[in-house]
């Protein structure tokens, strides 16, 4: 989940909590009944936040796993590609070395 999504989620939850609290406080009920409503809504909000955090953690874990697999594949491809290039460089250097040996042998005669 991106940082913007996290901020939006936090803003929505904060607004819901404030709205529920204000609604309950201005309701024409007795104090005991109001406290029960506040407690009930607080527990509901806590469960909602816990659920959303759990979902966000699952999404983050899933995304991290996908990125890890993607990174490992790209790393393996890069290493393989570098290996082929290294083999090409070694073959080119060996050919040049052989050419130099031939030239040196001709100069030695």
Neighbouring residues of 16: CB distance < 8 A, sequence distance ≥ 6: 45, 48
pTM of the model: 0.46
The Cα–Cα gap between 62 and 43 comes to 28
* Per-residue pLDDT of the chain in tens (109 residues, 90 and over written 9): 456 777 787 788 888 888 777 776 776 667 777 778 778 888 888 888 888 888 888 988 999 999 999 999 999 988 888 887 888 888 999 999 999 999 888 888 7
Beta strand ranges found along 1-109 (DSSP E): none
- Cα–Cα distance measured from residue 22 to residue 8, given in angstroms and rounded to the nearest whole number: 21
pLDDT at 10: 79
- Residue whose C-alpha is closest to residue 5's, from 64, 60, 70: 60
Task: For residues 54 and 8, give the distance between their C-alpha atoms in angstroms, rounded to a whole number.
Answer: 16
* Domain ranges for the chain: 3-108
Say what the pLDDT of residue 45 is: 84
């Amino acid at each position: 989940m991106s940082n913007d999504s996290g901020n939006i989620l936090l803003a929505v939850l904060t607004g819901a909590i404030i709205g529920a609290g204000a609604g309950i406080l201005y309701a024409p009920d007795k104090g005991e009944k109001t406290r029960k409503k506040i407690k009930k809504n607080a527990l509901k909000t806590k469960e909602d936040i816990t659920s959303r955090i759990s979902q966000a953690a699952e999404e983050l874990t899933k995304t991290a796993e996908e990125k890890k697999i993607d990174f490992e594949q790209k790393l393996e491809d890069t290493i393989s590609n570098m290996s082929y290039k290294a083999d090409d460089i070694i073959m080119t250097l060996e050919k040049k070395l052989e050419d130099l040996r031939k030239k040196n042998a001709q100069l030695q005669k």
